[in-house]
Structures are given as structure tokens and as C-alpha cells.
């Protein structure tokens, strides 16, 4: 965030939802990877903290991955939330620490949050009493089917950068979701092709395409069908991504995707 005024307005709205903010520091520079990891460690060590939520996205969270103490986080589990660039942390913390994380709005999204976004976010923090994550969303089906698996995913271009590293997302047995923002179709094509030729789609259970601002979801789906035979259910949900009305999704939860009912049900967290 570029202004302290904007930051304070976001915090004020966040606190109106019932969440006292422990860390009100306004950062004026990008932290180094070690500094970023140290802040993450401090947040997980803080016995007063229940929720750790990113201030905003951007880039560079992947730089902190080699410096994070995953055993420390495993010993001090808390709710960890964010999206976009934070996708690298959401998936890695689940896979390394068995910590279900939240693909959710960040502090910057609470300047003028929509009712839809707040309702979904509060549903998540209440333990998902409404177990249908697609409730209230318009769903378009590209490939019918019913399946279940571990929910994983996030920002396509960010997670693509982890392929070939020790932190790449394990997709076998997963229901995968992707979103992106302001990437040209040929750039999305390049990323999806990387996942395909790396064999990352071979054993997935299902695919959820979120919003790809600037590209049509059917064109994104066509990139996949031109290169492989799709044997798993595929749907488009407009409320996943850099959008005003945003679903909060639990990365690492066991879910069931049913294209006939157009539901995404949490089976186990």
C-alpha cells in the first residue's frame, strides 16, 4: 500500500468485523527474504495472535521460502491467509506443516469490502458452517463430473515459478484452482503448458478456473484441451481471483466437486 491513510482505513474496517490488530506497523520498504521470514516467525510465535493475514500481494514471497522454519510453524499452528503472490506460502505451509491455509482477501481488500467477500471470509474463520464454497457463485461447467481431493492452487504465474524447485506444489490427488490478473493469453498459455508438459495435470482430480482478468475463461480452458485429453471435471467460478466478490478457499482441505450440482463441498479440514 502506498499511503498510510489507506492502510489505516483498511485496519479500521477489519477491526469493525471483530478482529483487533496486533501489528499496526506501516512498512515503507520491501523486506529482504530473511526479514520477511523473520516477521512470519514472529507472527507464529506470538501467543496472542490467532490470525496471520497478509497486508497485500505483489511479488517476492517465494524468496522467503528457503529461510522459513517450518518446524516452528508446525509447533505453533495459526490461521494464515492471503492470495495472489501469497499462493507460494499457502501451498508450502500446507505441504510442509500440514497447516490448512486460507486463499482469502488481504488487508488491502478491506478498504471497501463487498458483503459477498466479508460473508465468505467470516464463514471461513467460523470453521465453514456453510460447507458449500460455491454458495452464491455463478458456475460455468466445461467438463462434467464428480470428484474429490485435496484443494490446492492460487495464482497461476506465481505457482508456475516454483515448478522444478523443492517447493513446487504436489498436484497428485488434488482439486486444483488457478486465477490470474492482467496476464496476456499467450503468457497464461506458457504457464499452463509448463504444468502440462511437467506432468502436473496427470493425476489431478479436478480443475477450477477462477477469474483471469483480460482473458476469457473458455479461452484458458482451450489452452489445456488443445494439448491433452481432459479426463477430470473442470468448472469456471468468477469469484476466485483479483475480484471484488471473492470466495475464501481452504488450501489443504478435502473437498468434493460436483459439476451437476455446481457445488464445491468441504468434506474435511
Distance CA 25, CA 14 (A): 15
Which pLDDT value is given to residue 174? Answer: 98
Rounded Cα gap, residues 209 and 195, in angstroms = 14
Q: Do residue 84 and residue 143 come from a single domain? A: no
Domain assignment of residue 41, yes or no: yes
pLDDT at residue 36, as a whole number: 95
- The predicted structure's pLDDT at residue 59: 87
* The predicted structure's pLDDT at residue 179: 98
To the nearest 10°, the Cα dihedral for 152, 156, 157, 158? -20
Assigned C-alpha cell, 221? 480452458
**Residues of the chain whose pLDDT is less than 50?**
none
Domain termination residue (choose one: 125, 148, 177): 125
Same domain, 230 and 145: yes
On whether both 80 and 167 belong to a single domain, the answer is no
| 15 alpha-carbon distance from chain centroid | 23
CATH (domain of 249) = 3.50.30.60
Does residue 130 fall inside a structural domain? Answer: no
pLDDT for 241 equals 97
* Cα 11 to Cα 5, 28, 47, 53, distances in angstroms: 10, 17, 21, 12
**Domain that residue 190 falls in:** 139-268
Residue 158 shares a structural domain with residue 244: yes
Amino acid at each position: 500500500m502506498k499511503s498510510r491513510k489507506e492502510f489505516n482505513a483498511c485496519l479500521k474496517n477489519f477491526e469493525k468485523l471483530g478482529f483487533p490488530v496486533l501489528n499496526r506497523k506501516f512498512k515503507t520498504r520491501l523486506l529482504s527474504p530473511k526479514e520477511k521470514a523473520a516477521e512470519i516467525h514472529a507472527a507464529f510465535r506470538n501467543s496472542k495472535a490467532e490470525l496471520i493475514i497478509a497486508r497485500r500481494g505483489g511479488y517476492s514471497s517465494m524468496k522467503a521460502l528457503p529461510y522459513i522454519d517450518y518446524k516452528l510453524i508446525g509447533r505453533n499452528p495459526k490461521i494464515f491467509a492471503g492470495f495472489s503472490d501469497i499462493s507460494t506460502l499457502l501451498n508450502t505451509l500446507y505441504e510442509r506443516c500440514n497447516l490448512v491455509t486460507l486463499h482469502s482477501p488481504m488487508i488491502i481488500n478491506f478498504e471497501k469490502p463487498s458483503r459477498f467477500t466479508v460473508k465468505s471470509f467470516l464463514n471461513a474463520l467460523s470453521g465453514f458452517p456453510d460447507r458449500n464454497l460455491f454458495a452464491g457463485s455463478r458456475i460455468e461447467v466445461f467438463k462434467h463430473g464428480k470428484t474429490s481431493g485435496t484443494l490446492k492452487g492460487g495464482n497461476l504465474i506465481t505457482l508456475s515459478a516454483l515448478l522444478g524447485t523443492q517447493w513446487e506444489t504436489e498436484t497428485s490427488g488434488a482439486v486444483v484452482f488457478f486465477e490470474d490478473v492482467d496476464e496476456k493469453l499467450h503468457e497464461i498459455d506458457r504457464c499452463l503448458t509448463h504444468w502440462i508438459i511437467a506432468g502436473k495435470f496427470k493425476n489431478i482430480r479436478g480443475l477450477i478456473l477462477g477469474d483471469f482478468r483480460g482473458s476469457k475463461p473458455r479461452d484458458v480452458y482451450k489452452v489445456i484441451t488443445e494439448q491433452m485429453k481432459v479426463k477430470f471435471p473442470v468448472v469456471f467460478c468468477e469469484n476466485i481471483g483479483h475480484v471484488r466478490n471473492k470466495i475464501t478457499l481452504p488450501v489443504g482441505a478435502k473437498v468434493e466437486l460436483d459439476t451437476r450440482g455446481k457445488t464445491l463441498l468441504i468434506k474435511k479440514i
